[in-house]
A and B are shown apart, each in its own frame.
Chain A
Amino acid sequence: MSAVIEAHGLTKDYGDTRAVADLSFVVSPGMVTGFLGPNGAGKSTTMRLILGLDAPTAGDVTVNGTRYREFAAPLHEVGALLEARSVHTGRSAYHHLLALAQTHGIPKRRVRELIELVGLHEVAGKQAGGFSLGMGQRLGIAAALLGDPATLLLDEPVNGLDPEGIRWIRNLLKALAAEGRTVFVSSHLMSEVAQTADHLIVIGRGRLIADTSVDEFVLRASTSVVRVRSPQATRLRELVLGPEVSITDVEPGLLDISGLTAEQIGDLAAAHGLVLHELTPLQASLEEAFMELTREELEYRTGELPRESEDVAAA
């Protein structure tokens, strides 16, 4: 039960808009892989491409070496929860799952078992149109697990869930990964993914931004910026300049320096007899690291002016 999702140069255009651009990644079994990006980054499109709901403009994506459309029994290979609701509002939860199960000859017993598992037994006979967002998510998760699939694709699964439901999902995802399944979960919230994921694939504007382990990401995020307060900030700025260093002027006499450690900056200042009033490695939160990583994307979408900054490294 080990399946790998592989995307090669995956590209999707909708009219003039490029939703996914030359995306290549591998999702491995036995762990939870977080798929991270701001809203509109192309996560849902990528999920739809994996499921063969949309056809790629270029490139391809396979699960276990096979295109989804070519599976003889897709529900046993991949279980999916899409962000957009995929349930007929006029049908009961039980009949919705039964109709899906029948395409693969999955017995009614299994349908009841899953309704029980996701905690919908009391409302299984009610029309899905009256479900709350959280109940809808639980129904979607039951549908995804129906075929006991080796791979799970979940698009923003915690949307609309209460704290208890969120905890339930996290535990479920970890348990599924521990069984050796491939679990690919998208979210636009870094903090959410950090709770469950082992590996991260970050995209912005349809492009791959990072493909890294969560530990590495945390490490990179928490040591990147050092805040320096000095009456001689202008001189210090000239000293620390370098190809790997970028400096942000927070206010006169206050710099945020990335690319150097606090030790390096302190030593440099001492060697040149500069006075420092503050030297603080900033523990950027995961959320901030994520925002930093995808800032360009967000600015593009919201049309906001970039934060006042100066990228010295550009020289």
Chain B
Amino acid sequence: MSAATALPVPRLAEHGKVTQARVVLSEWTKLHTLRSTRWSLLAASVLTIGLPLLFASVLSSRWGHMSPQERAGHHHAPLNVALAGVNVSQLAIAVLGVLVLTGEYATGMIRATFSAVPRRLPVLWAKTVVYALVAFALMLPSVVIAFFASQAILARHDIEQISFSHPGVARTVIGGAVYLMLVGIFALAVGAIVRNTAGGIATFAAIFFVIPPLLNVLPTSWNNAINPYLPDSAGRSIFSLTHGAHSLAPAPGLAVFCGYTALVIAIAAVLLARRDTQ
């Protein structure tokens, strides 16, 4: 590494301004040039497709040994196998979402980012749009592949299948990808608020995995009244084929989950604009 002798610094002919579109391009560069991003997204895709394949294979190989009652249980929820991966890959999507901002705080990159875009909010919008689009663009084909591949495996053993054209099936499958995208945005906003990777993941896990079972302690009537409106349950109804008395229909579920997501993004925006950079 020899000391450069070319001095002074060459001049730059054109001077452009910061625009939202340029910040989006910059955030896209940031997202796809990190190895951790590529691994997390690969993991999410593999889990979304792989788990349904695994479950479908296990189910079809065991089908001959199952009792009629047991078989009936599986007949009632034909999409459970196809969308089984969504429950697991949401964790990879959430962790990566948290990291979109906490990774910058942990390494100090946030100082360079906010020096280049001192108004800050364009960075939050750009990160949200880029991550949401990337998550959806990867998760949509993943859930569709998971659906058709798992149905194909089940078909070989003449186990109950469900057609993509069956009412609600397309909505449910696509809903799985929409849910994952919204989870990603939610987690990104949590990361922007908490600014610490471990804290961000813990907060997300508390909201989605810890609070729901805690409500079981409450009287059933209370639990039934509150539970459908929790982020986790509301989000889940987006990719449920049927809904019971104590869960929301897909459209209200989507509306409620979008509402929560918009709320955390709004809190993140206010804090991001106001707080000192760590």
Contact = CB atoms under 8 A, between A and B. Distances in A.
Do A and B assemble together? yes
B179 to A, nearest CB: 28
Contact of B9 (A69, A90, A129, A148): A148
Contacts of A116: 4, 6
A55 B4 contact: no
A95 B33 contact: yes
Given A103-B26, A119-B2, A84 B12 contact: no
B111 interface: yes
Interface string B4-27: 101111111011111100110111
Interface stretch (A73-81, A186-194, A270-278): A73-81
Interface stretch (A2-10, A170-178, A203-211): A170-178
Nearest to B27: A99
Contacts of A219: none
A53 B277 contact: yes
Interface string A71-115: 111111010101011111111100110111011111000100110
A52 B34 CA distance: 27
B115 A117 contact: no
B220 to A, nearest CB: 47
A194 B78 CA distance: 77
Contacts of B12: 76, 106, 110, 147-148
The range of chain B's interface size is 35 or more
Contact of A102 (B25, B35, B111, B276): B25
A260 to B, nearest CB: 46
Contacts of A171: 7
Nearest to A115: B4
B118 A90 contact: no
A196 B9 CA distance: 18
A54 interface: yes
A172 B2 CA distance: 15
A122 B115 contact: no
Contact of B35 (A90, A117, A164): A90
B30 to A, nearest CB: 5
A235 interface: no
Given A73-B17, A104-B17, A135-B1, A84 B108 contact: yes
The range of chain A's interface size is 35 or more
A5 to B, nearest CB: 15
B217 interface: no
Contact of A104 (B1, B22, B112, B118): B22
A176 B115 contact: no
B109 interface: yes
B9 A87 contact: no
A120 interface: yes
Contacts of A197: none
9 contacts: A51-B114, A68-B118, A69-B119, A86-B111, A86-B112, A102-B22, A105-B16, A143-B112, A148-B9
Interface of B: 1-4, 6-12, 14-19, 22-23, 25-27, 29-30, 33-36, 103-104, 107-112, 114-119, 274, 276-277
Which 4 A-B pairs rank lowest in CB-CB distance, beginning with the nearest?
A105-B16, A148-B12, A95-B33, A102-B26
